[in-house]
Structure 1
Amino acid sequence: MEWSQGFSGTQRFARGARWAMAMALVLLMAACQTPSAPTPPPPPAGLTAQQQQVLRDQGFMQGDQGWELQMSGKLLFEFDSAEVGEAARAKVVQLAQVLMKEGIDRLRVEGYTDDRGSAAYNLKLSMRRAQAVTNVLVEAGMPRQNIEVKGLGNALPVVSGNAAENRRVAIVVPLL
């Protein structure tokens, strides 16, 4: 049985008109409400403004992969060595303490070499360098499971050739 049986055309029209007016009233009331303040966008990489400022203060630069600190000039290795010297160790410990104080404990450590030696050897050496720095970070209190370690050989040199600046690590706070 059709719902409109027993109603005249005028009654159906009046009922439809009342329904349309009620819907229009609801929409108008919704449009008149004061909109809530817009929510500010979250900071990039899931970091607070304070954390980002600390990273900048420590020399990190924001890039495509996250916040990166090239340790060239700060943490260089002797030719064919993965030993972290005492001065460099102190810098890494201090950096770890500053980052952890700000709640930053997820890192990627990338090791690099100059272009002397075979590609296979340089990959292994760069991994040993990254692991050596990771060990210092862990000794300073960083959770090992939160540190990704990569050896990248002589990829991405900061200076062309066999320059000492290429025997380095980069510490990256990755994007979340």
Structure 2
Amino acid sequence: MVKQTPCAWMLRLLWLVAAALALGACQSAPHMSDEARRAQVLREQGFVQTEQGWELQLPGKLLFGFDSDVVTDESRRKLLHMGRALSEVGVRTLRVDGHADDQGAPEYNERLSLRRAQAVAQALADSGIALDHIEVRGLGAKYPVAAGTSEAARQENRRVALTVPVQ
């Protein structure tokens, strides 16, 4: 048996550690692409993929009270969390569509829905998404998601929907 010097023994140990690390790296889970990670985060946040891009659909949309454009504290926390998560996976542009119920004059509802969209856009900007990269639209009562005249149907239509455009 050949006696090894402390230096040779240390080099052999380092070589074995390096080989083990290299082997472990080869067997680890494959790295997720940026696009796959972005899609995963969008799904986790409640978005669904459409022809327009990724849209936040029911029940993930943001609802407002009657004649209100105020983002509640709870909704603001959710928007900040969502905005940070989207920023982390490279989402840089969004579209925010404000909606209203069918009560009141169409012109008033368009202005109200625009204010709703602007309030949500500001919360998203506070999370780190550049405000000038957020398209804001007020659509009034043109695109209801719930039919009928009940208060429940009207509540469903007082909302803001988010879209991450196809990149």
Q: TM-score, normalised by structure 1?
A: 0.70
Structure with larger Rg: 1
1:6-17 equivalence runs, <5 A = none
Which moved further from structure 2: 48-57 or 78-87?
Answer: 48-57
- State the Cα RMSD in Å: 1.5
- Corresponding residue of 1:31: none
The answer for the alignment partner of 2:81 in structure 1 is: 94
Which residue of 1 is the match for residue 9 of structure 2?
A: none
Number of the residue aligned with 1:166: 157
Helix, strand or coil for the counterpart of 1:120? helix
Does the C-alpha gap of structure 1 residues 62 and 74 become closer, same or farther in structure 2, counting only changes over 3 Å? closer
Partner of 2:108: 121
Give runs of aligned pairs for residues 133-148 of structure 1, distance below 5 A: 133-148=120-135
Unaligned runs of 5+ in 1: 1-46
| AA of the residue aligned to 2:97 | E
Cα distance in 1 for residues equivalent to 2:80 and 2:137: 20
| SS state at 1:104 partner | coil
Shift of 1:50: 1.4
What's the TM-score once normalised by structure 2's chain length?
A: 0.73
Equivalent position of 1:107 in the other structure? 94
Q: Which residue of 1 aligns with 2:43?
A: 56
Query: CA deviation digits over 1:6-61, x for unaligned, max 9?
Result: xxxxxxxxxxxxxxxxxxxxxxxxxxxxxxxxxxxxxxxxx711111111111101
| 8 Å contact from structure 1 (residues 71, 171) kept in 2 | no
Identity of aligned residues (%): 49
Count matched residues: 130
**Deviation at 1:161?**
3.2
1:96-138: CA deviation from partner (whole Å, max 9, x where unpaired): 0100011112100000011111111110000000000001111
Amino acid corresponding to residue 116 of structure 1 in structure 2: Q
Q: Amino acid of the residue matched to residue 95 of structure 1? A: M
The residue number in structure 1 matching 2:118 is 131
Counterpart amino acid of 2:84?
Q
Specify the code of the residue in structure 2 equivalent to 1:49.
Answer: A
